[in-house]
Chains A and B, each alone.
Chain A
Amino acid sequence: MSVRLIIHRAGPGLSVQDLGRSGYLVFGLSRGGAADRLALYEGAALLGHDPSTAAIEMAGLGGTFEVTHDTRIALTGAPMGATLQDGTVLRWNASHLLPAGVQLTIGAVRAGSYGYLHLGGGIASELQLGARSAHLASGLGARLTDGTELPLGRDAGGAVNMTLEPEPRLEGGRLRMVPSLQTGLFGDAEVARFQEVRFSRDSRANRMGVRLLPEGQGFALEGGLSVLSEVIAPGDIQVTGDGTPYVLMSECQTTGGYPRIGSVLPCDMPRVAQAQAGAEFRFTLVSLDEAIELERRALADLERLPSRLAPLLRDPASMRDLLSYQLVGGVTAGRELDEGL
């Protein structure tokens, strides 16, 4: 009998997400995948998974969850309140053991936008076009609703009660961009001004794009509406007719006709995804050579994540039953625990 995750109550923005699908762009389907890919890597490090393992993405609000067998879990991305049925509070950016039959309630985000619930063995829903990610904009997969049950993969086992200090990315900040196809059309003065102006994240944002409001005058491009429609990609900063930039996210459309002033580096995209409405951004144009250096470093950081795990030191005051916990990070042998239950 395979292990199942039962979602008793689902917040409005829950979906299964992994790293998305490559190779369907030519058919009009963008890659999709987790809005904050770094959170998937963090969750994978905490549970000893491959980063392509599917998890539950929670936009803004979590839900109530239960598993049919004791299961290792990890919580990453935007921190949310996470409480077990008995009142035990679970730390974010950490791994835990979720006992069978105990309800886990995850509340609203405290900072950032997208929280992630990772489960030992990963979500093992049917592959669709080679991935498990819901691509909401195209009707591939769907939002998770109350009462949904999802199968989990076999957990190879590993540590729980480990923590991982996350890369700060919830508060906006500086975004590095490289030139895109129409950067030149904007002219040096406008590109320079684009790097001086402060932007704040608009309330209009989803998995397709995030709108940024410039302080002061917009960046409307003379003749910009006659750009021939061509490929667009996540990270591209499209400037719409009224001069307001949108940063395209993982579920963006595949072609567009709005001019692009630049393209945000992949390593800075989690920052765009996680910003809440009102968060401030500034842009810095970097060369492709600098971009390669930055991406190389980001990749090395991803590879180092597993080595940065630390035992979770529990605050005894937050525990209901001290005796039932190990006080430092312990190790379980996956679902072998189930045998005695």
Chain B
Amino acid sequence: MTNSPSSAPVPAGDKQWPKVATAGFDGVVVRFADSLSEPANRAALAFRAAVEAAGWAAIEETSTSLVSTYLRFDPLGCAHDAMMAQVQALLKTRDWYDAALPQGRRLWRVPTVFGTDLAPQLEEAAARAGLTPDEAIQQIAQTQLRVQTIGFAPGQPYLGELPPAFDIPRQTELTPQVPEGAVVVAIRQIVLFSVTTPTGWRHIGQTRFRLFRPDAPEPFVLRPGDEVLFEPISPERYAALEEAGADGGATSEVLA
């Protein structure tokens, strides 16, 4: 993650975007912007849904990143030029930046310990944001964050967007290991880890919310468009949630 998010929408009628390019032997990427914006994020989600609905025979799978849609296809069954033309034609059918968010979105409330030895970089991240730790917790807890994309690891959300103060860089050195359920912050985004991983983002909170459940009927819990509130809890409450199962005390309601 090296993007620097901005909320500036792509100007309507900008002929430069979207851009279509091949990616490797069997990929096409449609980029709706070169920095994070909500309209471009919605466009990427909506365009992927439209490709899936179109049911083109050569498509093998599709995905979205923050502001782009990816199509993997079989170039032996459909030449690159033909696939690019098909994509361009579909792009012309509407204004994708105007697309609505996906249906059936949910709001998740996720119990979170901020700071303590469970999440040792709260003070450091708050200082970078020019806030006290309590102010940082308060600002984060009050921001309803949206899942902009799932990626990097299974079921792992990129959540945005935090107030401008949190436009803090990643650290230069990697933290060798941050546990599953960790809440990490950089560049006005939060990532909630679905695996134990090294990271350059700062570890400010810890949850017991398991995002990837290979054997469950719904293996991937969060979907793009879902919203998340991190609700501060005490380390004692966190300890008690060990018995709470894979949700770790998280609850969800359908957003209207």
Contact = CB atoms under 8 A, between A and B. Distances in A.
Are A and B bound to each other?
A: yes
Interface of A: 22-29, 128-129, 135, 137-141, 178-181, 225-231, 233, 235-236, 253-258, 263, 265-266, 288, 291-292, 295-296, 299
Interface residues of chain B: helix, strand, loop or mixed (majority) = loop
A228 B5 CA distance: 9
Contacts of B62: 25-26
14 contacts: A24-B61, A26-B62, A28-B153, A28-B154, A28-B155, A141-B214, A228-B3, A231-B63, A231-B65, A231-B70, A231-B151, A253-B151, A263-B23, A296-B76
Given A28-B154, A263-B25, A230 B4 contact: no
B75 A253 contact: no
Residue with the highest number of chain A CB atoms closer than 10 Å, among B2, B29, B70: B2
A28 B156 contact: yes
B148 to A, nearest CB: 11
**Max chain B CB contacts within 10 Å: which of A23, A228, A296?**
A228
Interface in B40-77: 48, 60-68, 70, 72, 75-76
A128 B2 contact: no
A228 B219 contact: no
A178 B4 contact: no
A139 B21 contact: no
Nearest to A228: B3
B20 to A, nearest CB: 11
Contacts of B202: none
A231 B2 contact: no
A291 B76 CA distance: 10
B80 interface: yes
A68 to B, nearest CB: 26
A255 B155 CA distance: 12
B23 A254 contact: no
B214 A140 contact: yes
Nearest to B157: A28
A231 B27 contact: yes
Given A27-B150, A178-B25, A266-B25, A233 B61 contact: no
